[in-house]
């Protein structure tokens, strides 16, 4: 199956602004040059376009160059669960490394571009370059940790705390990407937020309103500005 959108070939890892977040992080520049040979291709996705589907044979990892994606898992009976949101510099496709097939759908939340890292080539290289292997392990481990914290959130916390933690997490990631004054945009719909948090969109809406009325945040559609970050942390009960 060909990619729905066209591939482009351009910027090298060694010249990419995202090095700090992405695979190159913590690698020697000599090692990053090796990556250049791998991540040659990129895909552009429009909103709602699918990068890969649950069940597809896993042959690549991807790193988000710009934009935002979500991953979600679903079962026959129709249920589906949003598992994560993925911003510039983040690696996706790791859910395929156990079974050789992706376990999730990855879908663009807005116009996005991702770098394609052919996995068998990557493996070969990693086998020869310990630093790369190590970096891969860190990235996988990060995802594992994240999922485990997410499990705590879904299993043990009331909706209010889940939402507070979610906002704080996005804030942190937005800040790392240059956002200031705790102001950023939600790239996902209320439905996606709700699914991610294990609550309904109505509950999301009501909680957002409550936070807003409590003076914790200011909301206008999908724009948010955190007013009282201490208050939010308190509400969240700390986790991060």
Partner DNA sequence: CGCTTTATTGAGAGATATCAATACTTGTGG
Partner DNA sequence: CCACAAGTATTGATATCTCTCAATAAAGCG
Both tokens assigned to 213: 């009325």
Contacts of 78 (CB under 8 A, 6+ apart): none
Residue 145 interaction partner, one of a second copy, DNA, none, beta carbon < 5-8 Å per kind: a second copy
Q: Minimum distance from CB of 195 to DNA (Å)? A: 10
Residue 160 interaction partner, one of DNA, a second copy, none, beta carbon < 5-8 Å per kind: DNA
| Residue 168 CB neighbours (<10 A) | 20
CA distance 157 to 145: 17
Residue from 55, 130, 141, 158 that binds DNA (CB under 7 A)? 158
CA distance 168 to 92: 22
Work out whether 77 is an interface residue with DNA (CB under 7 A). no
Work out whether 191 is an interface residue with DNA (CB under 7 A). yes
Work out whether 111 is an interface residue with DNA (CB under 7 A). no
Residue 47 interaction partner, one of a second copy, DNA, none, beta carbon < 5-8 Å per kind: DNA
Tokens 């709700």 belong to: 194
Residue 32 interaction partner, one of DNA, a second copy, none, beta carbon < 5-8 Å per kind: none
Work out whether 148 is an interface residue with DNA (CB under 7 A). no
Work out whether 221 is an interface residue with DNA (CB under 7 A). yes
Residue 178 interaction partner, one of DNA, a second copy, none, beta carbon < 5-8 Å per kind: none
Tokens 């097939």 belong to: 101
Work out whether 98 is an interface residue with a second copy (CB under 8 A). yes
Contacts of 143 (CB under 8 A, 6+ apart): 94
Work out whether 218 is an interface residue with DNA (CB under 7 A). no
Residue from 43, 87, 96, 125 that binds a second copy (CB under 8 A)? 96
Residue from 12, 134, 138, 206 that binds DNA (CB under 7 A)? 206
| Residue 69 CB neighbours (<10 A) | 26
Residue 206 interaction partner, one of a second copy, DNA, none, beta carbon < 5-8 Å per kind: DNA
Site string for DNA, 36-55 (x = CB under 7 A): -----------x--------
What is the binding site for a second copy (CB under 8 A)?
73-77, 79-81, 83, 94-99, 103-104, 123, 126-127, 130, 133-134, 137-145, 147-152, 154-157, 195-198, 237-239
What is the binding site for DNA (CB under 7 A)?
47, 158-160, 189-191, 198-206, 208-209, 219-222
């Amino acid at each position: 199956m060909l990619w729905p959108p066209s591939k482009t070939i351009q910027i090298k890892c060694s010249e990419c602004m995202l090095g700090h977040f992405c695979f190159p992080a913590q690698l020697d520049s000599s090692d990053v040059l090796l990556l250049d040979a791998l991540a040659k291709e990129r895909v552009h996705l429009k909103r709602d376009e699918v990068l890969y589907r649950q069940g597809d044979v896993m042959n690549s990892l991807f790193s988000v160059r710009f934009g935002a994606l979500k991953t979600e898992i679903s079962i026959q009976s129709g249920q589906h669960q949003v598992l994560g949101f993925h911003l510039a510099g983040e690696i996706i496709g790791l859910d395929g490394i156990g079974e050789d097939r992706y376990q999730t759908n990855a879908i663009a939340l807005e116009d996005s571009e991702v770098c394609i890292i052919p996995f068998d080539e990557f493996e070969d290289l990693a086998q020869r370059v310990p630093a790369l292997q190590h970096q891969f392990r860190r990235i996988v481990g990060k995802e594992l940790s994240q999922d485990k914290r997410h499990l705590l959130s879904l299993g043990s916390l009331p909706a209010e705390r889940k939402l507070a933690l979610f906002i704080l997490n996005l804030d942190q990631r937005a800040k790392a990407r240059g956002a200031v004054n705790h102001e950023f945009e939600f790239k996902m719909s209320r439905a996606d937020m709700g699914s991610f948090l294990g609550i309904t969109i109505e509950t999301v809406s009501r909680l957002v309103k409550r936070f807003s009325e409590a003076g914790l945040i200011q909301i206008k559609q999908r724009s948010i500005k955190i007013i009282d970050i201490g208050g939010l942390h308190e509400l969240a009960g700390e986790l991060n």
